[in-house]
Amino acid sequence: MENPFNHGPEYLAYLETLPKEFFLKILENIYLGIYVSDRDGNTIYANPAITRHYGKRPEELVTYSNWGIWQGIVSPPAYKEVFEKKRTLFYRQMHFFSKEILTTIAIPVFDRNQDIDLLIGITQDNIVKFDRSYDEIYYQNTEESKSNFKDIIGESKIYLQELLTLRRAAKSKTSILILGESGTGKSLAARYVHNCSKRKDEPFLEINCAAIPENLLESELFGYVPHAFTGANPKGKKGLFQLANHGTLFLDEIGDLPPSLQAKILFVLETGKFLPIGSEKYIEVDVRIISATNQDLEQLIEEKKFRDDLYWRINAITSIIPPLRERKDDIVPLAFHFLQQNNRENGTNKKMDPLFISYLLQYDWPGNVRELKNIIERCYILSPGYNISPDKFPRKIKSLDVDTPYESQGTFDELMSAYERDIIRDCYKKEKTITKVQKKLGLSQNKAYRLVKKYCADLEK
């Protein structure tokens, strides 16, 4: 049996044991309409489902000798264009007799000389009524519908473990400290905690302690009474602690908080009350504090730049968001997510070249998720057509030594196999052993062995 999909020898041997009747049973009963033509346009197979779309039985279709039968029946015709472009094409077709809108996928099958040998057509009507749908489950109650879980993009074991820790911690009122490099998504993690907590229907407010001058930061946090100082609003102003009452206040870059304000925040955490600027009356609040920083707070304590008593109050639970270079499994899902965002905003459907993904996986991403988002947006803007290729990367990424992925016709399974191969090869090059690959990627022993043997045979000594 030929092996164009690079199956492992065990699976290939298994396929050879399956009888022809097994495959026929699948083809004859599948809901999708399937027909197969040879290079001359002769229909050599059609399954019963095709009758639902074209009104012709398989017995009739296999007697036709060319594609001309579809002229004036479906538009636009797909078949000859596949031979010109030699890749899988996607069509939205109109059937003129039934006025039905069809989704058709035309897939070329190549021989050993890379000439088209067969053409597979898959046709499906646009389904609008479902027996079950994810949204009736996802939105079945108010709690789930108001959560932001769908905004969390991640598949790596190390990242999902941190989210699990945060989700458990969210049920309490305990202060949480989120650590991680710049651009890893600490703000998103803080909002995730809020949405997992009983406070999710209350305010979530955030402030960057490094972005606001000290004299203004105090008034932003605690507010002030009318005429508290020159230039103050004559009506006074509520601070974030008061506005976030019963909700969550996220203090980003807390390592840059001035010492004078550290004492005031510590007082709020210990007593649940504060004094607005110029006031003599305390205001009581119930606020859950989440803090974040990319600095070493223990080092700042040694340097007398951060209060140790405040440190112990804000880090009752600490979560460390790993950098993107340590969560390679998240790069592809995040890249697709950012590309889809650009496609939606601009009404396009651009795709990433498989080699483009290989470069993404090879790069270390010092700017983490923020840098990945910016790179995807850059490459999207600079790509005039519908294919985003590596030549749109900045020089620092284009200069990487990247393996060429398997040739792909663009189907989902083929693309995912290419991504899987790149992840395994990249990890094996760095870790050198199957056992280390297993631990690094969180795989079972059998799966790690199988994948390394499948993709890294040329790298093993």
> Taking CA 217 as the corner, what is the angle to CA 214 and CA 223, rounded to the nearest 5 degrees?
135
CA distances from 270 to 40, 45, 170, 263, 284 (A): 81, 76, 19, 11, 12
* Structural domains of the chain, ranges and CATH numbers in brackets: 31-125 (3.30.450.20), 142-322 (3.40.50.300), 325-455 (1.10.8.60)
Please state the rounded mean pLDDT for residues 337-353.
88
In this predicted model, which residue has the larger pLDDT, 148 or 331?
331
Range scoring the smallest mean pLDDT among 66-70, 291-295, 441-445, 456-460: 66-70
pLDDT digits (tens, 9 = 90+) for 41-78: 788 898 998 887 776 788 887 877 665 555 556 677 76
Cross-strand partners of 109: 118
Cross-strand partners of 204: 248
Is residue 149 scored above 60 in pLDDT? no
The C-alpha atoms of residue 392 and residue 455 are separated, in whole angstroms, by 28
* Angle between helices 259-271 and 214-222 in degrees, nearest 10: 10
pLDDT digits (tens, 9 = 90+) for 383-405: 887 788 888 899 999 888 776 55
pLDDT digits (tens, 9 = 90+) for 197-240: 999 999 999 999 999 988 889 999 999 998 888 777 888 899 99
Tell me what the pLDDT averaged over the chain comes to: 84
Tokens 């969550």 belong to residue: 248
Rg of the Cα atoms in the chain:
29
| Three-state helix/strand/coil letters over 265-319 | HHHHHHHCEECCECCCCCEECCCEEEEEECCCHHHHHHCCCCCHHHHHHHCCEEE
Please state the rounded mean pLDDT for residues 169-186.
93
The C-alpha atoms of residue 341 and residue 337 are separated, in whole angstroms, by 6
Q: Are 70 and 79 contacting, i.e. CB atoms less than 8 angstroms apart?
A: yes
The C-alpha atoms of residue 74 and residue 390 are separated, in whole angstroms, by 37
In this predicted model, which residue has the larger pLDDT, 355 or 258?
258
The C-alpha atoms of residue 130 and residue 215 are separated, in whole angstroms, by 58
Q: Are 362 and 325 contacting, i.e. CB atoms less than 8 angstroms apart?
A: no
Give me the pLDDT at residue 355, please: 80
Cross-strand partners of 251: 207, 291
